[in-house]
Structure formats: C-alpha cells, structure tokens
Structure 1
C-alpha cells in the first residue's frame, strides 16, 4: 500500500472517502497544534497546576481499519507545591507507567477535531486521585482548551465527564482542576 498525506481535519470528516490502496497519514499541515505546545500553568496560592504539551508526529494505527498514521497533541500534568522554590514538592503527576513497564500512560490526548488554531478538544485521564484497580486510567474526561485570541498566552481549560451511562463503581469525581485559566510560560 502506498502512503497518502491528508490534512488532519479529513480524519474527522465523515464525508471523506478513503481508498483501500492507501495508508493515510493525517498530518497537522496547518499547524493547529503549534499554539498549544509548551508549558502552561495555573497558580492557586502556593500550589501550581502545570501542563506540558508536545506534538507526536505520525503516530501509527496500523492495526486499525483502515490503517493510518495521525499527528497527535499529547500532554502530562502535575500539581506542585512551592513551584520553582528549593522546597518544591510534587503533590501528584500524570506521568505514571503502564503496570510494571517503563511506558507512561498517555493521560492527555488532544486531537479531536482540530479545526481552528486556538481550540482543541480531546480526552484526559485523571490519575491523580485514588485509583480503583478496575479503572487504572482513573476518571476519563472530555477536555476543551481554548486559547484567548486577544492574549494567546492565556487559555481556558475545561474538563467534564463524557456523556453516557457509567457503571456504579466507575470513578466520576475529578481531582484535577476542571475550569481554570492557564498561562503559557514557555514554548
């Protein structure tokens, strides 16, 4: 099969027709992810919530039908006491490994329908609270981050439970912030 590059929006376009003769690479050609990449913080007293985003290019989904590659915006978060001070202490972090492996859980995946350079939607897994062994990825949430066009170094961060039915033992309370304004501190 030959590889064919398509704009990432085509992946989310229900009217886009694929051909079995190609393995598609849905690429962030218009750099929708670029404004999000870097470190963002929210300060609350002596505690700082920190998010770091990076772009993973050409993530392979060759076991899916149809086979494809796609660019993804991923991230990790942590809550730190006395951020930047000699007595800095991490209260929680999303950088946890899968089981006993050295592979970290992908706790933030922001790739859903990148249509504009300042709005991103995706999935977040809150692994900060007490984890139920039946749900090792914690509370699954829908994440929306909107960069302020008037001040691109600030963004609104909102997390909510996805719609649908949940099992009675399924976690549904977030430990991470669910509605805050972030400030970008570096690229």
Structure 2
C-alpha cells in the first residue's frame, strides 16, 4: 500500500475532470490516520472551490450546527476526515443547483483513502449521492428516519443546503430527535466538550 502522502499527492494532482467549468481542483480533508469521524458528502460547491476548503460555505455552517462542533474541531484532520463523492466542483445544472459529482471519482480514490483511516468510528453519509454509493439505492427521508438501522458504522443525513430547510420543517423529528442522537455520538467519538 502506498503512503498516505503519496496518495494525497496523486489525488491533488488528478486532472481527470479537466473539462469541468471551473477546472479540476480536488478538495478533501485527509491528513491523519487518527481521524475518528468521516464525513462523506456530495462534491465541493463554488465557495469551497474558491477557497480550497471543503464545506467552507453556508451548508458547512449548517452541518457544523447540526453536529454542534466549531470550525477548529471540524477542520482538525486528526479528528475529522472529509471524503466527498466527487473531489471537484461539478458545475451548475441549467435549472439550478449543482451537477451530480462525477461518477468516476469515488471508485478511483475512496477505498484507497479509507485504507489509511483505520480509526474511523462513524461515517456521516450526507445526502443522496453518498448514501446511494455506500448503501445502494434508497430514499434519504427513509434512511434519515431509520438512522438506527445503519449504526454503529453509518449515520445518514440530508444534505445541509438551504433546500433542506423545507424538508426539516416537514420532518420535525429530525431536529427534535435525530440531531440529539447525532450530537451525542459525535461528542463521544471526538471526545470534545
């Protein structure tokens, strides 16, 4: 198995998505094999693409609020690894929203990266792309509601974009019950106050 540093150099040098609107710019957070929480989302948005920092946007703010962890903890790669389904911003759809992550990215890199993260205690599957890749086809609402079925390894979550605000209002159990469990699990895993 190649070293983590070598693998990360290969990932960051990847130009497979040369034709993307903003060009290739792989963004992920893997730096320490000691990380205990893995966040698997969709793909970087435009703000993350610009900064080079994953979840560096309002959806990241919402996700950190859901987890009740601060930016320093979230971006501490000895605690949290972030491996999206696609590492590069995929571009916009004509009708709005971002394009799906490139299908080639996760199969090419995901398992190789996971081999270097032996201490992961919980993987957050954020949104349909992550859930469908890891768990197979299914509905986000069903998986989030039935999150206990996927523990202790996985915790399915909706994507924390502004579009999810209406979903949260329709599904009050998410904030009233599920986030309570999620926050406790994250607190235990990361051993933060």
What is the TM-score with the length of structure 2 in the denominator? 0.26
RCO higher in structure (CA 8 A, sep ≥6): 2
Higher helix proportion (structure 1 or 2): 2
What is the TM-score with the length of structure 1 in the denominator? 0.26
Q: Rg: which structure is higher?
A: 1
Higher strand proportion (structure 1 or 2): 1
